[in-house]
A and B are shown apart, each in its own frame.
Chain A
């Protein structure tokens, strides 16, 4: 569904991505693991089109989308749940969700999308009129995921969704991610620090280090490889 080949990008003159290549299969959870600061987030933002690619290619549904800006990617059904939430804290939960349905296509099916996210996260219905900033960390993470669902995505990229959450909530987030795949049929590209939990949830795993892919395989294979776990995951 999504194919990234030899992508290079960075900020200013600092190169962050050194030709990683990954493939995301439809209906699967693909994980991108590795320590902090190896370019995982940059890879996601470059796929979205918010960071400009220097070289390499991005193909989505067999179409070349390398140079497409972020808002056009959202039209194609790609979205990102960013690390650190990036919610509109001064707006109500409802307004945040409506912002998710900003693109014309998403706006048409806004009522269905709202019904869907309220079934997934019933607590958000109760909080609909509250300012997003007044919610707990776990609830804010729900709003971020819900807002992304409002864009009517087919591919959803999640950047460290469990970061900063209590252990009990981490389990809930992963349960949600698996639900998105099983019940809504979304394709998921997941970036995680929590390698153990990510391995359990994923179908396929890429190990990223120093801006490129160092290893890949089914989560089964990665879990069994002592060298990979020791060298890159520390588990």
Chain B
């Protein structure tokens, strides 16, 4: 019985982990290129969730259409915040960047509240389910997982095969080295930030395909925390590391839930929520370069 439960939860965890991974790639990319820790990361996920929900309920459009739309909206937001705020912070002390991105997060929350109100929202795609031997999985979750993999793969190809993607890798490694090659480093900064935010907003859509309820202006905080843990797990500045770390995190989180539920007198949900903190704590203690880092 418990094994069956565990198996089912691990299957869900793996699927959710793919979305977690995608949701962290943007954070890692931005940290890798401009060394800015985006504390407002989760709020951009929230924006993506609202994009999906609004397009579905107000316009009747499938979340599959919301995915590219969210990327475009995210890129636009990314360029906007880069040229208004972030550009001045590339060489600023860490505390300044933390405060500024925290402020961007609050700004997004309050704008979302102004437009949508503070109520919890949701939508019902109603795609149906598929029956597996151990569990039943809604089709939308499978779509979300496949979507994450396709997007991550696309990003990987862009990084490794294109001239611009290679330039981004060069800037991550050594911005001065890239400059003497004639790379317009300031443009790469702007572009990477915009792509990073685009990926993050897009992942917000995929998350609603997983959990289509509980969409509200203040939902971002938990995702910021999870993304931080996953980013550290993946070695911080590596977007691919982040993706695989996301898979691992999804498995651990969902597996642990089942195990916690076996302990009498314990509330498994709250304990699972605290799990991210514990993982971060032990990871920084034992292997601060990340499980997949060097």
Contacts and interface: CB of A to CB of B under 8 A. Distances in A.
B113 interface: no
Interface string B153-180: 0000000000100110110011011111
Contacts of A107: 163
Contacts of A102: 163, 167, 181-183
Contacts, number: 73
A80 B180 contact: yes
Contacts of A222: none
Contacts of B180: 48, 70, 74, 79-82, 86, 147-148, 151
Nearest to B174: A86
Interface string B25-47: 00000000000000000000000
B265 to A, nearest CB: 50
Contacts of B163: 102, 107
B181 to A, nearest CB: 5
Interface residues on A, range: 20 to 34
Interface in A58-103: 69-71, 74-75, 79-82, 85-91, 95, 98-100, 102-103
A88 B182 contact: no
B262 interface: no
B293 to A, nearest CB: 13
B184 interface: yes
B173 A90 contact: yes
A50 interface: yes
A151 B177 contact: no
Given A50-B176, A86-B177, A74 B182 contact: yes
B182 A106 contact: yes
Contacts of B169: 88, 90-91
Nearest to B186: A69
Nearest to A133: B173
A86 B182 contact: no
Given A80-B180, A81-B180, A102-B181, A95 B166 contact: yes
B176 A69 contact: no
Contacts of A75: 182
A48 B183 contact: no
Contacts of B184: 69, 71
B209 to A, nearest CB: 34
A71 B183 contact: yes
A82 B183 CA distance: 15
Contact of B179 (A48, A81, A85): A48
B164 to A, nearest CB: 10
Most buried by A among B166, B169, B170, B186: B170
B174 A151 contact: no
Contact of A88 (B177, B179, B185, B186): B177
A151 B178 CA distance: 12
Contacts of A80: 180
Nearest to B176: A86
A113 to B, nearest CB: 12
Contacts of B185: 70-71
B176 A151 contact: no
A82 B185 CA distance: 16
Contacts of A70: 179-180, 182, 185
Nearest to A79: B180
B181 A100 contact: yes
Contacts of A99: 166-167, 170, 177-178, 181, 183
Residue with the highest number of chain A CB atoms closer than 10 Å, among B173, B178, B180, B182: B180
A155 B176 CA distance: 18
B28 to A, nearest CB: 15
Given A98-B166, A99-B167, A88 B173 contact: yes
Interface string B58-83: 00000000000000000000000000
B157 to A, nearest CB: 16
Contacts of B167: 99, 102
A13 B111 CA distance: 37
A71 B176 contact: no
Nearest to B175: A86
Contacts of B174: 86-89
Contacts of A90: 169, 173
Contact of B177 (A48, A69, A87): A87
B92 to A, nearest CB: 11
A91 B178 CA distance: 13
9 contacts: A70-B182, A70-B185, A71-B184, A86-B177, A88-B174, A99-B167, A99-B181, A102-B167, A147-B180
Given A74-B182, A86-B174, 14 more contacts: A48-B179, A70-B179, A70-B180, A71-B183, A79-B180, A82-B176, A82-B180, A87-B174, A87-B177, A88-B173, A91-B173, A102-B181, A106-B182, A151-B181
Interface of B: 163, 166-167, 169-170, 173-174, 176-186
